[in-house]
Amino acid sequence: MVVATQNPAQVRKATAEELERLNESLSTRTPQEIIQWAIDEHGEGLILACSFGGISGMALLDMAVKIKPDIDVFYLDTDFLFPETLETRDKAMQRYNIKPLAFRSRIDPQQQAHEYGEELWKNNPDLCCAMRKVEPNQRALEGRTAWITGLRRDQANTRRNVQPVTWDEKFGLYKISPLAQWDEKQVWRYIFQNNVPYNPLHDQGYPSIGCTNCTRRVGVGEDSRAGRWSGIAKTECGLHR
């Protein structure tokens, strides 16, 4: 199924039937084969999202650069990233010889505090995420036809129906999730077998890592994403809602 056009800024939305057939075909393929399919299908219209926080993104980065060493990679610098996250980025840059594109909010933390008050992430976390993650992500995807994400079905109840390929209504392009059918154990196995660098906070009780203000350690028996936006009715930053 050809979905990209000659102009990377234009992309045809597949029908529900086309997506169903495509996902049925991709459901038997490995993550590497799905990545290869995405590269063949979208070419320069493809970009990989890697937060340098989660293990899924690091595994996908390792897979992708082994297939296409010059694949475009981006991350969202919210201005509130853990130092360990930036250290992981630097290690990945050296290991894979990549130059990931950083996208930041149009408003810096000082302006945000002045205009919206201190600790916006507590008072209005959705607005904070919208300014520091969703809007920058929109710019990161401009002119693209597809992006690769680390979504997995086992990550949260909100992600149980993740498919290898979906149409991203929010950003107007295809969302490709090569690890949709993998679980956490499979990702860790790949990380260790391939000596993939990963965020050291994972070894300190942080299975899901976001901004410093909205991430805490997870206790024994808690859900792996329980440390994100703890204490409020929020489970997603808005990128994948």
Active site residues: 237
Rg (CA), the chain: 17
Per the CB < 8 A criterion, the answer to whether 162 and 180 are in contact is: yes
Residue 155 is classified by DSSP as: S
Contact present, 71 and 100 (Cβ < 8 Å): no
Token output for 36: 């290869």
How many other CB atoms are found less than 10 A from the CB of residue 235? 15
Phi, psi of 85 (to 5 degrees): -70, -45
What is the pairing mode between strands 101-103 and 73-76?
parallel
